[in-house]
Amino acid sequence: MRMMPLLLTLAIGSLTGVTAAQDAPKTVIPETALSTAPALRQTALDSELGFRITESLTTEVGPRLAGSEADARAVAWAKAKFAELGYDRVWTEPVTFPKWERRSESARVVGRNAQPLVLTALGGSPGGTVEAQVVRFDDLAALEAVKPGSLAGKIAFIDQTMERSRDGSGYGIGSRVRSRGPSAAIRAGASAYLMRSAGTDSQRMPHTGITRFDEGLTPIPSAALSLPDADQLSRLLALGQPITVKVALDCGWNGEATSHNVIGEMTGSSLPDEVVLIGGHLDSWDAGTGAIDDASGVGITMAAGKLIGDLKQRPARSIRVIAFANEEQGLHGGYAYAKAHADRISNHLIAAESDFGAGRIYAFDTSAPAHAKAAAAQIAKALAPLGIEYKPGEGGPGPDISPFARDGVAWANLMQDGTDYFDYHHTPNDTLDKIDLEALAQNVAAYAVFAYLAASAEGDFGSAAKAADSED
């Protein structure tokens, strides 16, 4: 996942609430649906389906960088998997984006402390080889405060630590160092940019992730060191003599690519044209096999849709499951979907994306306005036996949902325990063995119960097109 800045998340949350009609009739979940939920929940808990889908994608396709040959195989895999699971409708929608390629990357300290350093290019970085003295900064603010041009001929290195947390809030700092650091380094005149990976582990694995360069700046090679390597570089610098590092990246933008959002739908019984949207993203970074980011999200939501489809009595509305294209490099799939379905906002009852790993869900929140709060509470009550608390005001839409949420679609958030998420996020270590089968089944149960009850609701959750000034 890429995660939106917190402020944007909060802005979307409050805007969506304001948008809802103040005099709308109260939304309720019918008793028949509520009485069906426990059995659905238990079926999901007893099922390995979510894990098996996740296993299939990560094993058979492996890493699937957006626009790569493997990404195309992932699209074919998702279509075939939806069909195999018996989804009523399966289709794709094109998503076009700039294509970024990673070919090779290495770094080493040169001179009297000669040794390799383990790093990875940030997504969007240009290639290039730079051999220069390293200047270390404690944090992003320190680099942003230096005199323009003062780092000419140097490599800027931010050694800022990211804190572990259940809700992933520490990633706010980590992702800022990644997205804003390179531009700060360029303004300071630096020839290359290094950062301590945005991660919470102590493994010798760097964390990649997309970066960007401010308009008008000439991009420089930008990379993240593993945490032990950031420690090592800081220790070397603390010895007091100049440290020169050679960074060699072969990577960069290379034209455009078209991938696809892959969509499967279980048709609703009485309002099939209205949908509850759930999903994850199909692309991954290239170092790992994208197990927790985000094959698990695809597996959880594909399995949830399948289990709802298997019910004797389908809910009123359709369950639409989306495997989004290219989330990692800028929510391209999410933006494309929002654009393609801009005239169908009120048909999307509510939307939720799973993109924070495979840990147990501990909390539930939704943008439901006043007239739908009782229904949200009914859903929360059905989720409670899974150990899920109702925490109004704590969540926000998942990344690929966020463009559509900004346009007015109601969202729900099933918050996963991300305590160890940033140990593996965007590293070679994001592999299937990091996923607990039972925790994944709990996720499937939560998504199935949520989507089923929402799709059964009498009334809406506040989805309505925003005024034209709310642009993407």
Kindly list the residues in this chain that would bind a copy of itself in the complex (CB under 8 A): 55, 59-63, 69-70, 73, 109, 112-116, 118, 202-205, 227-228, 231-232, 235-236, 239, 288-289, 427-429, 431-434
Strands 348-353 and 271-281: parallel
Rank residues 14 and 115 by Cβ distance to a copy of itself and give the closer one: 115
Beta carbons of 311 and 355 less than 8 angstroms apart: no
Beta carbons of 472 and 338 less than 8 angstroms apart: yes
Rank residues 78 and 388 by Cβ distance to a copy of itself and give the closer one: 78
Distance (Å, rounded) from C-alpha 243 to C-alpha 241? 6
CA angle centred on 323, ends 460 and 364, rounded to 5°? 45
Listed in sequence order, the residues at least 6 apart from 29 whose beta carbon sits closer than 8 Å to its beta carbon are 375, 378, 379, 453, 456, 457, 458
3-state secondary structure of 133: strand
Rank residues 63 and 315 by Cβ distance to a copy of itself and give the closer one: 63
Distance (Å, rounded) from C-alpha 9 to C-alpha 180? 19
Strands 192-196 and 222-225: parallel
Rank residues 240 and 393 by Cβ distance to a copy of itself and give the closer one: 240
DSSP assignment of 354-386, as one string?
--S-SSPEEEEEE---GGGHHHHHHHHHHHGGG
Distance (Å, rounded) from C-alpha 433 to C-alpha 73? 22
In whole angstroms, the minimum distance from the beta carbon of 194 to a copy of itself comes to 17
Handedness of CA 346, 349, 352, 353 (dihedral sign): negative
Q: Which amino acid is at 49?
A: L
In whole angstroms, the minimum distance from the beta carbon of 259 to a copy of itself comes to 17
In whole angstroms, the minimum distance from the beta carbon of 112 to a copy of itself comes to 8
Rank residues 287 and 445 by Cβ distance to a copy of itself and give the closer one: 287
For residue 61, what are its two tokens? 């396709």
In whole angstroms, the minimum distance from the beta carbon of 226 to a copy of itself comes to 8
Rank residues 50 and 369 by Cβ distance to a copy of itself and give the closer one: 50
In whole angstroms, the minimum distance from the beta carbon of 84 to a copy of itself comes to 14
In whole angstroms, the minimum distance from the beta carbon of 57 to a copy of itself comes to 11
In whole angstroms, the minimum distance from the beta carbon of 62 to a copy of itself comes to 3
Rank residues 66 and 70 by Cβ distance to a copy of itself and give the closer one: 70
Rank residues 55 and 167 by Cβ distance to a copy of itself and give the closer one: 55
Rank residues 69 and 343 by Cβ distance to a copy of itself and give the closer one: 69
In whole angstroms, the minimum distance from the beta carbon of 439 to a copy of itself comes to 16
Distance (Å, rounded) from C-alpha 135 to C-alpha 149? 13
CA atoms within 13 A on the CB side of 170: 19
Distance (Å, rounded) from C-alpha 79 to C-alpha 426? 25
What are the C-alpha distances in Å from 204 to residues 103, 158, 160, 193, 231?
20, 17, 17, 19, 11
- Return the closest-CA partner of residue 16 out of 468, 466, 471: 466
Rank residues 129 and 202 by Cβ distance to a copy of itself and give the closer one: 202
For residue 174, what are its two tokens? 């980590």
In whole angstroms, the minimum distance from the beta carbon of 415 to a copy of itself comes to 25
In whole angstroms, the minimum distance from the beta carbon of 171 to a copy of itself comes to 21
Rank residues 222 and 431 by Cβ distance to a copy of itself and give the closer one: 431
In whole angstroms, the minimum distance from the beta carbon of 140 to a copy of itself comes to 23
In whole angstroms, the minimum distance from the beta carbon of 141 to a copy of itself comes to 26
Using CA atoms of 139, 145, 151, 156 in order, give the dihedral in degrees to the nearest 10. 10
For 271, other C-beta atoms within 10 Å of its C-beta total: 15
Task: Tell me the Ramachandran region of residue 470: left when phi exceeds 0, alpha when psi lies from -120 to 50, beta otherwise.
Answer: beta
For residue 295, what are its two tokens? 């094959």
